[in-house]
Structure 1
């Protein structure tokens, strides 16, 4: 299954847990992989608490500040590429009886580092 997520700011973290869960076949056991099809966004598993979401965005900005990179001469988004490399492109999650088997505070989060944009995620 593929679905799209619209982000709203230059660095934006969106909880996509429910959309991922909706793509899991009934009764399935095993794993599911969530894959981000972009080089300036990533997927992580963490808590979807609003202050932590803001901290994730600040952390990404601190790791790769937005100026002075060679790639910026092309399209001024080198920091977004570098941030997404650190986040990772995919996560693999356990599935039990057709449902995500996440920990109590775990959510699947899309972190867009070059928004606002429409992003595509695959659930396989």
Structure 2
């Protein structure tokens, strides 16, 4: 189990290819543009909170022989939406 302890970050599984990473960033910005939101009156980071709704905050991944069992092209990504800043990520192996 991988868990991010923050509301302005997320986790996802995808291919580690530079064009795709750029596309992921662009689609998040397109779906949730920088704009004026109610939450902005507090921290001016509502777009980061709203983008995190489109990602996971935890991932449950299979482990076998002490190795993550991911597909050939699959990689785990931590997605920073309001940083850079120091973050906590919890990992539990059951």
TM-score normalized with structure 2 length? 0.93
* In structure 2, C-alpha distance between the alignment counterparts of 1:117 and 1:67, rounded to whole Å: 22
After TM superposition, give the deviation of residue 105 of structure 1 in Å. 0.3
- Gaps in structure 1 of 5+ consecutive residues: 1-32
Q: Distance in 2 between matches of 1:111 and 1:60?
A: 11
How many residues of Structure 1 are paired with residues of Structure 2 in the alignment?
92
Report the counterpart of residue 44 of structure 1 in structure 2: 12
The whole-number CA distance in structure 2 between the counterparts of 1:65 and 1:84 is 13
Superposed structure 1 runs of 4+ greater than 3 Å apart:
none
Other-structure match for 1:57: 25
* Residue 103 of structure 1: how far off its partner (Å): 0.1
| Cα distance in 2, alignment partners of residues 117 and 57 from structure 1 | 18
Within 5 Å, give how 1:17-96 maps onto structure 2: 33-96=1-64
* Superposition TM-score, scaled by structure 1 size: 0.71
Unpaired stretches in structure 2, ≥5 consecutive residues: none
